[in-house]
Structure 1
């Protein structure tokens, strides 16, 4: 349908301009002249189809939030920061890998070469090839983690379980997907199967929650094993240090680590990065020293034949020992989970130039040392340090172990923020700690819970051997889930050649499944711990998400029709009082039932009503100029508007730009652009009518047409000014924020499971977590809560 064919009552406009703070309170006349002067293109003016399909096709450009093309100076700064944040975990693995692998001692000299070969190829194939060169490409506008991959899939296929998807969402500039090839048939077939299968939708969400829970579990275990390993090294210097002392010193260090998190990734990264750089320099230097001093022949381990020989000699014991070797790649998931704090290029640069070479040299040096001193395998790291370097290395090792915890702590904050925005985690307060680098966040409640969990695990397990068994399961489980999502992305979005997909599954997938089978063997020796953490977190996520979906469907089924709204608004029993009322709801399609409940108890309405719906898109950021979508409820005299405010899971409201001021600015622009659009349509229709009436126009008819056009334009400008003046008066009279205080209960006849889920589990989480008005910074003095009970 062309623009001229559209019914005028269906016409709306979206806003793409910004105004200053002073403009909000200016007189209507000044606003009118300012808005009249704005230049608008046809592409910025769109039509509105119905109340249930949100308005506005949006054309925008990626903002600075999209971390694609960044200056190299910024990349280098972030690469330096990432050394302190991302690689602490994988970088401190040399503290315990050989000790965890040879738990029963070294039985054959060539076993050292077999294990070194396994470490070399594992480090090369998993962190370097898989994560740095493949998985990092599956980021969501610069953000990583399990939920980022899930969001990517949700954008391409309709697998989300909340029925708020709209075609217009795909026009947000950061929503669009680039498809690098033309292999459409296979991708379309897989996409169709996913969209038609409810089981597939639930399974994808379940797998996402499981992966997220495992990463958080990893975030609990990483600090424990790293700090215990490093502090335990002091036993080499003094026999007075008992196991109890080591455990309590480790617990104290962990408490201090979590207390500094509030300063943010930026400051913590710049503080930690030099220490980790010194750590990598030391372990690489000591590795080179040991390599040349003890046995340079370990370079033969580059031959994978030693891996085969190792399995032939040790059989089941070799398979079990994989649970120790996998600790060499712990923290690898942080490469992806923390990419939102940095950039893809900075992570790739720091990994390839610093981390990977240092680790290879460190493990090679330890293997050379063990070839001559195999009886020191349980204390490989500290025994292999040259005498004069012991104390400096011990101090740096303790500091590096403390920093090792930072990678998964930062990753945990990132993925919880993503899951919260997608309705899969209870509302907690997100603190953005850096104005310079987006995506660097801190979550106070989660930080304290992680601290308590870490201290409890450290005191409970007391040894790195038991923690190593628990640690491996969390690491490999997350890696396997990441590979599964990556295969879907390869087929559906990247449209990778099927041979390359099969090669990835056979090589990387087979290695990860082999490691997973090994770590699961130690389930009863501590491996149950991350699964227990995951089950608790899964229960919280599932409870919140399930009731969240039920609430949305309830509001959708009980929404108010436009006709009913008109009846309420024109009812003579209602008086219109000065002011602007904002009704908040998560319902995107229609007017929420809470409005009907409100007017049933309060027989008055404000002069301007705006129904605001917050909507989370499965993308990291929505550009500010594409955030607001408005629709006017007819007739115009009601001054009732619908507004959908769209956020990505990395977006945050800025305290410097109060939401209500931005809303009023955009609403004024919407009114002005709407009238300009009507004028443009009117001019087009008048031109078509003139062509139909005849080809010959005399001067008088042209003059009369110009006069009529000018009169109509002045009339429209007068109406526009009057409406903006009404909005200004309402703004000056005051804004009232009306927030629903929903009591959620299980409906009559609900089974026992449903009653436990809703009446007890969900309501317990709701009572003990941050309320929505605190999360969204709604002013307390101008907020009214409207109580309503939802029977689900």
Structure 2
């Protein structure tokens, strides 16, 4: 298991970046948390003080202790997130893939719910000045613009995220602080006894945990974005962020107490703003909500790219809009998220209705992280007591939140669970099909075919197929090769070449590994190259292969000039041709029901995935794609009896 890497030192730039990237989701929660806690109930001290107390202790126990202090320790060479945590321990227990899949699907579902609720909450502030303004078209327009700009990269916009979020948090702290100064007695709400009274004595108080939970929904994203800023920058900036958040919650509570005995009308967040500042405040809130949405969209792209490397998601097209590290755009996921966000806005229309769908899925993600983290603590520190204590405490806390959030199910919570279930189904189908295919792939020992390969290469009676023939192989053992590759070379159409190249790509648990190994299986005739690439490294095999060949030529290890005498005298380089074997489901299969359904859905999903050629970045002008049947379980033929003519 990898040890936690050494994190970069705290810098001003790092702190600004962490403000812009890490805290978008959790930083915009004051827009809707207190409004969700109070709801339609009569404003009272027990409700307001108890709600603030619950928020404070949730941020302290869940965000500060669990994530900022403990979980950030579990980094995979500087990278965080549920899949990075899973890669640290996956070789120790096969069942760990289940919480990893659940956590990943829940985070993606969160990426569909968060942008609509954040942007809607900000835009609805305009109703204070313009009561009849239609907010839904404005929200849809902002979301559409946001998703459209993803294809251009966010390098320019990203540079402004930090300063804008610094302004946002400063505004939160100042507005809340001014309100607290006028009503300093609200500070006593931090006493945990108020939380206890709310949960035990207030009518249906326990179920308010579903609204309280909204204050910490961004904690999981905080861990996922560890690689962008480093642990020290996140921890230092969190101290500032938490103070600003608490001041704003306390300020909203102070204002709410001036309305004691009444029902809430409007959003207490905007009630803290003086009239002359309202438009400016709404504009800043909207920009902050857009930044929060951007961070979740970028996080979803990273999550999917990691899932692909772990064989948990179809190999969809990845685009790198700029040369900036971490800049990634996945068109299919981008428009899937856009469609989901638009659907959420059109279905719920109001942010207060979206609150019903929000929180349930992310609770499952936190559950998953707790299970994985408990196992990580056990594996790393060899302490069952430490792992059990961590697991028991946080599973109990998150179970309480989950039960409270389940009350949201009939009011819209089913939407987030449905989205999460669909995403989880895709992951389950893809990984199941991967294991089914791998278990039935037939390998042969390469040494048995070396003499035949060398003879074919020298047999001038067979028309030369290409000078350099390159196959992608999934065989992890360099001494073996898929039987389908041998069939393609010798039987489908004899493929004579001067040199046969076999390329294998291994995805490592470390995120940024970029290594290769060359084996001369038969000197001058058969060469194998093994690439070891991190799960966050783009697999541009065409470029990598070219670079390796150039280095081999420089070192005098291989001669790539054509072996035709007339061309060899002119030192002309021979041509390279890749052969890619794409499997299809043979009609001659007799599968058990479960496997049949999995494989049918696998091939249905495969239609939307990138081809092997595009995925490995191969030059399509020099690629031959051959279809080979995937015969999983042959149909049992009846006994045929020959009869005389």
- Give TM-score, length-normalised by structure 1: 0.74
Aligned to 1:582: 470
- SS of the equivalent of 1:442 reads coil
- SS of the equivalent of 1:631 reads strand
The alpha-carbon deviation at position 783 of structure 1 amounts to: 1.1
Asked if the contact 2:51/2:195 (under 8 Å) is kept, the reply is: yes
1:149 paired to 2:85: yes
Aligned to 2:311: 423
Aligned to 1:187: none
Task: State the alpha-carbon separation in 1 of the partners of residues 40 and 529 from structure 2.
Answer: 66
1:259 paired to 2:148: yes
1:334 paired to 2:224: no
Deviations 1:14-59 (A, max 9, x none): xxxxxxxxxxxxxxxxxxxxxxxxxxxxxxxxxxxxxxxxxxxxxx
- SS of the equivalent of 1:134 reads helix
Aligned to 1:18: none
Q: Following superposition of structure 1 onto structure 2, how do residues 294-693 of structure 1 map, counting pairs within 5 Å?
A: 295-315=183-203, 317-353=204-240, 355-374=241-260, 375=262, 377-378=264-265, 379-436=267-324, 438-495=325-382, 497-555=383-441, 557-570=442-455, 579-589=467-477, 590-598=480-488, 599-622=490-513, 624=514, 627-634=515-522, 636=523, 639-653=525-539, 658-668=543-553
Aligned to 1:31: none
Cα 1:482–1:247 shift into 2, 3 Å: same
1:99 paired to 2:35: yes
Deviations 1:657-686 (A, max 9, x none): 9223223145458xx6xxxxxxxxxxxxxx
Deviations 1:318-351 (A, max 9, x none): 1111111111112211101122333223322322
Asked if the contact 1:114/1:310 (under 8 Å) is kept, the reply is: yes
Asked if the contact 1:608/1:727 (under 8 Å) is kept, the reply is: no
Cα 1:535–1:140 shift into 2, 3 Å: same
The alpha-carbon deviation at position 734 of structure 1 amounts to: 1.5
The alpha-carbon deviation at position 97 of structure 1 amounts to: 0.8
The alpha-carbon deviation at position 499 of structure 1 amounts to: 4.5
Task: State the alpha-carbon separation in 1 of the partners of residues 227 and 585 from structure 2.
Answer: 35
Asked if the contact 1:552/1:587 (under 8 Å) is kept, the reply is: no
- SS of the equivalent of 1:471 reads coil
Task: State the alpha-carbon separation in 2 of the partners of residues 257 and 754 from structure 1.
Answer: 40
1:246 paired to 2:86: no
Candidates 106, 118, 121, aligned match of 1:214: 106
Cα 1:503–1:154 shift into 2, 3 Å: closer
Candidates 579, 594, 599, aligned match of 1:758: 599
Task: State the alpha-carbon separation in 1 of the partners of residues 128 and 21 from structure 2.
Answer: 29
Cα 1:271–1:769 shift into 2, 3 Å: same
Aligned to 1:739: 580
Cα 1:739–1:400 shift into 2, 3 Å: same
The alpha-carbon deviation at position 653 of structure 1 amounts to: 4.3
The alpha-carbon deviation at position 102 of structure 1 amounts to: 1.8
- SS of the equivalent of 2:609 reads coil
Task: State the alpha-carbon separation in 2 of the partners of residues 445 and 616 from structure 1.
Answer: 23
Cα 1:654–1:550 shift into 2, 3 Å: closer
Task: State the alpha-carbon separation in 2 of the partners of residues 325 and 71 from structure 1.
Answer: 34
The alpha-carbon deviation at position 654 of structure 1 amounts to: 5.8
Task: State the alpha-carbon separation in 2 of the partners of residues 566 and 753 from structure 1.
Answer: 43
Asked if the contact 2:510/2:534 (under 8 Å) is kept, the reply is: yes
The alpha-carbon deviation at position 105 of structure 1 amounts to: 1.5
Asked if the contact 1:597/1:788 (under 8 Å) is kept, the reply is: no
1:70 paired to 2:39: no
The alpha-carbon deviation at position 433 of structure 1 amounts to: 4.5
Task: State the alpha-carbon separation in 2 of the partners of residues 386 and 216 from structure 1.
Answer: 37
Task: State the alpha-carbon separation in 2 of the partners of residues 440 and 142 from structure 1.
Answer: 17
Task: State the alpha-carbon separation in 2 of the partners of residues 493 and 442 from structure 1.
Answer: 35
Deviations 1:149-195 (A, max 9, x none): 1101025x2xxxxxxxxxxxxxxxxxxxxxxxxxxxxxxxxxxxx3x
Asked if the contact 2:169/2:244 (under 8 Å) is kept, the reply is: yes
Task: State the alpha-carbon separation in 2 of the partners of residues 116 and 216 from structure 1.
Answer: 29
The alpha-carbon deviation at position 466 of structure 1 amounts to: 2.6
Task: State the alpha-carbon separation in 1 of the partners of residues 164 and 536 from structure 2.
Answer: 30
- SS of the equivalent of 2:618 reads coil
Task: State the alpha-carbon separation in 1 of the partners of residues 15 and 320 from structure 2.
Answer: 20
Asked if the contact 2:15/2:236 (under 8 Å) is kept, the reply is: yes
The alpha-carbon deviation at position 564 of structure 1 amounts to: 3.3
The alpha-carbon deviation at position 376 of structure 1 amounts to: 5.9
Aligned to 1:17: none
Aligned length: 616
Task: State the alpha-carbon separation in 1 of the partners of residues 152 and 396 from structure 2.
Answer: 41
Aligned to 1:682: none
Asked if the contact 2:511/2:535 (under 8 Å) is kept, the reply is: yes
- SS of the equivalent of 2:537 reads coil
Aligned to 1:790: 630
- SS of the equivalent of 2:497 reads strand
1:749 paired to 2:590: yes
Asked if the contact 2:48/2:257 (under 8 Å) is kept, the reply is: yes
The alpha-carbon deviation at position 454 of structure 1 amounts to: 0.3
Aligned to 1:173: none
Q: Which consecutive residues of structure 2, in runs of 5 or more, have no partner in the other structure?
A: 633-645
The alpha-carbon deviation at position 414 of structure 1 amounts to: 1.1
- Give TM-score, length-normalised by structure 2: 0.90
Cα 1:78–1:746 shift into 2, 3 Å: farther
- SS of the equivalent of 1:357 reads helix
- SS of the equivalent of 1:364 reads helix
Task: State the alpha-carbon separation in 2 of the partners of residues 392 and 604 from structure 1.
Answer: 70
Q: Which consecutive residues of structure 1, in runs of 5 or more, have no partner in the other structure?
A: 1-60, 158-193, 195-200, 673-720
Asked if the contact 1:340/1:414 (under 8 Å) is kept, the reply is: no
1:82 paired to 2:32: no
Task: State the alpha-carbon separation in 2 of the partners of residues 747 and 208 from structure 1.
Answer: 35
Asked if the contact 1:612/1:645 (under 8 Å) is kept, the reply is: yes
Deviations 1:454-491 (A, max 9, x none): 01111111122331121110222111111111000001
Task: State the alpha-carbon separation in 2 of the partners of residues 124 and 561 from structure 1.
Answer: 59
Task: State the alpha-carbon separation in 1 of the partners of residues 466 and 364 from structure 2.
Answer: 59
The alpha-carbon deviation at position 763 of structure 1 amounts to: 1.7
Candidates 757, 760, 774, aligned match of 2:614: 774
1:232 paired to 2:73: no
The alpha-carbon deviation at position 578 of structure 1 amounts to: 6.2
Task: State the alpha-carbon separation in 2 of the partners of residues 540 and 499 from structure 1.
Answer: 36
Q: Following superposition of structure 1 onto structure 2, how do residues 287-298 of structure 1 map, counting pairs within 5 Å?
A: 287-293=176-182, 295-298=183-186
The alpha-carbon deviation at position 116 of structure 1 amounts to: 0.9
Asked if the contact 2:471/2:503 (under 8 Å) is kept, the reply is: yes
- SS of the equivalent of 2:578 reads strand
Greater RCO, CA 8 A, separation 6+: 1
Asked if the contact 2:466/2:576 (under 8 Å) is kept, the reply is: no
Q: Which runs of 4+ in 1 moved over 4 A?
A: 571-578, 666-669, 726-731
Task: State the alpha-carbon separation in 1 of the partners of residues 533 and 136 from structure 2.
Answer: 44
